[in-house]
Amino acid sequence: MYLKDLSLEQPNSPQILVEQGQPSVDINLAVEVQPVVEGIYEVAVTATVTTKLGDRTLFLCEAKEAGIFEIRNIEEDQMSPILGIACPGIVYPYLRAVVADTVTRAGFPPVHLAEVNFQAMYEAQQQGNGALNA
């Protein structure tokens, strides 16, 4: 596992830090699969967390955690579910920790990403575009 990309932006600081109100939080997740060499794949999970107070951005955190997986001697029809469900499930806890830690170190209450049903996400993607990017 490794942190592939991380950014945190606070475009309206410091003024927005003294404003009162309940912020809105929007979280988007994406899974990417890239072959490295035969039988070895990089699976990356990206979380984009946008927190706003009214129409002004409090902070934007984007983190991409990746893992390298060696997968051999598996039937072709089983590869896509392994890469789209099992591998992201292994990477995701590391991503959750990175996001919570980064947001906390920026001076905000931590954002705890919820558990994700990667099987449901994979199935929705299969119905939407027919294949996982492998």
Residue 3: HSE in the Cβ half-sphere, 13 Å Cα cutoff: 13
Structure tokens at 33: 């699969």
Structure tokens at 114: 């919820």
Phi and psi for 44 in degrees, rounded to 5? -120, 140
Q: Which CATH class is domain 2-118?
A: alpha beta
pLDDT of residue 18: 84
- Digit-coded pLDDT (tens) for 32-75: 999 999 999 999 999 999 999 999 999 999 999 999 999 999 99
pLDDT of residue 96: 97
Terminal CA-CA length for the chain: 19
Nearest to 46 by CA among 80, 13, 88: 88
Residue 134 has pLDDT above 80, yes or no: no
Residue 97 has pLDDT above 80, yes or no: yes
pLDDT mean over 107-113: 90
Report how far residue 30's alpha carbon sits from residue 62's, in angstroms, rounded to the nearest whole number: 11
Residue 129 has pLDDT above 70, yes or no: no
Report how far residue 89's alpha carbon sits from residue 73's, in angstroms, rounded to the nearest whole number: 21
Structure tokens at 55: 């129409």
Q: In this structure, which amino acid lies at residue 12? A: N
Structure tokens at 105: 């170190």
- Digit-coded pLDDT (tens) for 1-38: 999 999 999 999 888 888 888 999 999 999 999 999 99
Tokens 């990417």 belong to residue: 32
pLDDT of residue 46: 98
Residue 131 has pLDDT above 50, yes or no: no
pLDDT of residue 91: 98
